Amino acid sequence: MNSTVVSYLTGFEPVKQFIAFLTKSLGFDVTALLTFVIFFLVAFVIVNIMAAIGGLGTYAERKISADMQLRIGPNRVGPYGLLQFLADGVKMIMKEDITPRDADKFLFFISPIFCMVGVFSTLAVLPFSSGFTLTQLDVGTFYLIAISSLVGLGVFLGGYASNSKWSMLGGMRGASQIISYEIPVTISVLGICLLAGSLGFNKIIAQQAGLPHTWFIFHNPFAFIAFFVFFTGALAETNRAPFDLPEAESELVSGYHTEYTGMKFGFFALAEYVEVFVVCGVASALFLGGYNVPFNLGGDGLVGQLLQIGAFVSKTLALYYVVIWIRWTLPRLRVDQLMTVCWKYLTPMAIFNLVGMAFWVYWFNGKSIFDLIFAAGSHAAGGH
Amino acid sequence: MFLNTLFFLSTFLIFLSSISLVTTKNIMHSCIFLLGSLIGVAGLYVTLGADFVAATQIMVYVGGIVILMLFAVMLTGGKDFVSRAQALMGLIPAMGNKFSTFVGILTAAVLVISTSKLFINLRSAIPQNKMAATESTVNKIGKLLVTNHVLAFELSSVLLLGALIGAAIIARPKKIF
């Protein structure tokens, strides 16, 4: 059985006693019921927190861009304008929900849902900590890449169903961009799976440790390049600038969600911001040590779990800042440049990295470059 | 309990979306219902404990095939695709005149009769109310792919390479020969 949040929680003695007590007093085996309840509660909490993080992402984006452009940014609603995203959400719910007369009603309705489902399904395997991960699938990375392709479908269908030429162009660009950039991203992830010998997030993170020299990004030169290939491709997959061609405001009004109003548009926006968080989380789990705390502080208890969540979220938010920083620094690419970057540069680099990592694992038995340097240094100093 | 729930959800999804798939008039909607059916099949794989196959099902069909289908349908006319109307009038033989319907029913009958022998013992073969595979299938599949089934693996990769080169040649602006 995969280790899940339920198997982590039921490992504690008080929880076992509680289950035994409930079973005795209610007269039937409550294990299945309790499993369902725990899964439901944890999933509920995670989805709500992630929605709040998505909302705060819009706030962070506006505030950071304001800083970069010497403006003030939102500062009216709540302290420092922190509640701005709640005001935006209320506004979106109260807006009129318009469906264009010539739109394909069914597809128009279902495409924001595809985006939301694709993003929020990935949270099932996102490793927040060693205990509080919803499920630690053995095919975790593969599942994540697979299910997040629903987002591309949602973008494409949103563009098609609107029956507007701006939306259509945005949707086509979005679908082709997401399909293309999936290839370098997947190959980069594959290289890390090769180093760790597993597709599961928990095993990949267990091969790393708290301090930077054990992270996979510094494992060997190929992994170092692979991180940047992965990050660039991930930016393109989440339609973030400089790759935000599907919603290029200067050319396409607003791209695939031009015709969307109210909460349907809100779903697209929320899905985008949560997806950025997910992608940054994947990057920190695969390359930056994930939830490992330096010196293993806190151990395996509840304090340790909280520290692990802190380590994971802080790494992820640092990458989130970089994403926003890039968006407000670089200008948008052209469509042909976009495809050139993917197929002529990133994909060959990713394949080169994969082959290089395979050779590295074969020649050096999977040792990291720091291990080799230390070994050579101690050998030169006369040690054994 | 969990497996039964998942099984019923998946079959319900497959059933509903397959019925909608063949009854809807709009070919874009058909693609979406096909997607629902394929995701349901992925759920059935999970029921059998084949996690890798389930993830591959979603990867290949959701990420690739359905998007390509939608692209192809859209670029060749979208929902106003006329062949469907012609097929309903019996103008295109491959899409349903009397002879092709007869052949289709005959093929389906032969397939059902020949495969039903496989499924007769299925209920006794699967251990009831148990997770079919407690450990992951990825390692086993990986090992088998590069040992016993390496020929099939390489042949399929050559086939895909051929398809890739063929597509590139068709898409070339000028002829090379």
Q: Tell me, what's the ipTM?
A: 0.80
Residue B79, pLDDT above cutoff 70: no
C-alpha span between A82 and B132 (Å, rounded) = 49
Contact criterion met (CB < 8 Å) for A150 and B62 = yes
Considering only the beta carbons, identify the residue of B66, B74, B135 that sits closest to A153: B66
Per-residue pLDDT band at B6 (split at 50, 70, 90) = confident
Q: How buried is residue B82: exposed, middle or buried, by Cβ count under 10 Å (0-12/13-18/19+)?
A: exposed
Residues of chain B contacting A112 with CB distance shorter than 8 Å:
none
Helices (H), A238-380: 249-252, 262-287, 302-327, 335-340, 347-364, 369-380
Token pair belonging to A22: 């409930």
Contact criterion met (CB < 8 Å) for A107 and B29 = yes
Residues 258 through 287 of chain A touching chain B, CB cutoff 8 Å: none
Q: What are phi and psi of A173, to 5 degrees?
A: -60, -45
Find the mean pLDDT for residues B16-36.
86
**pLDDT at residue number B87:** 55
Say which range, A75-79, B98-102, B125-129, has the weakest mean pLDDT. B125-129
Place of tokens 């050779």: A359
Nearest-by-CA chain A residue for B139: A198
Contact criterion met (CB < 8 Å) for A146 and B59 = yes
How many residues belong to chain A? 384
- A182 and chain B: CB distance < 8 Å anywhere? yes
Best to test chain B binding among A160, A176, A177, A351 (most B CBs inside 10 Å): A160
Residues 319 through 378 of chain A touching chain B, CB cutoff 8 Å: none
Decide which of B139 and A346 is more confident: A346
Considering only the beta carbons, identify the residue of B29, B51, B67 that sits closest to A137: B51
Query: Is-above-0.90 flag for pTM?
Result: no
C-alpha span between A241 and A235 (Å, rounded) = 7
A241-250, A297-306, B103-112 — most confident range: B103-112
Contact criterion met (CB < 8 Å) for A1 and B131 = yes
Residues of chain B contacting A145 with CB distance shorter than 8 Å:
59, 63
Contact criterion met (CB < 8 Å) for B55 and A139 = yes
